[in-house]
Amino acid sequence: MDLQLQDKVALITGGSKGIGLAVAEALAKEGVHLLLCARDAQQLKKAEQHLEQYNVKLFSFVADVTQAEEVDKLVAFSLQKFDTIDILINNAGAGTNEKIADAPDEKWYYYWDLHVMAAIRLSRALIPSMKENGGGIIINNSSICARQPIGYEPIYNTTKAALSMFSKCLAHEVIKDNIRVNAINPGLILTEAWEQAAKEESQKQGIQPEEFLNKIAQENTPIGRFATTQELANFFVFMCSPLSSYCVGGSYYVDGGWLKVST
């Protein structure tokens, strides 16, 4: 199937590992040129080395997208390297662990900037060039937790819910300019963060990491397993493609059936 993505340009935040890197690789396989952003220069270098096997233009930029000034620098760098960004994937994010009664304002503000304001600032900055070039794609990596919260991470739940609503509002505002905005809500995806959590928790419980992960999957998902980052990336790529042209303002769950209500 031709996804009609050859020579498009994608900017991916949080693009040096996990979901972001998997999406970058899946897009590179389709001939999409890449600009990856992350905070860790060494990890970005590893990502670049991994992606050099694909015949696409590839740049990286070190930035903390919770900082408005660094977002501005990222945008300037992006538009210097490419005339426009055709695809913006707001992927940077991290889980949280707190009680509402104990979490200080500073923690709320940090994750608000990471999960919500980074997407707002990047979208706002890149939409004008998308308009000039006939349209574009914005995908916000939200979470199943935007609708089905997990008890130990209320900040994550709240900020991801806000990100999903932002996606809906922006989609309605810019579709007239042929800019399609959607949110993707992953469930259990086997990232480095989950692997680290499995290592730590399995030691406490006296079991193997694989047993811990299998227990989580069996308890929560009808499919009974975690998804690979590649499985999720395949869906991202489809949503970047003109073949998904009637998908506008949606929140799409890739969760193995974990969501317990109808969408």
Residues that are catalytic: 156
* Token pair belonging to 260: 């317990």
Rounded to 5 degrees, what are φ and ψ at 242? Answer: -60, -20
What contacts 220, CB < 8 A, 6 or more positions away? 187, 188, 258
Can you say whether residue 131 is alpha, beta or left, with left for phi > 0 and alpha for psi between -120 and 50 degrees?
alpha
CA distance 114 to 94: 8
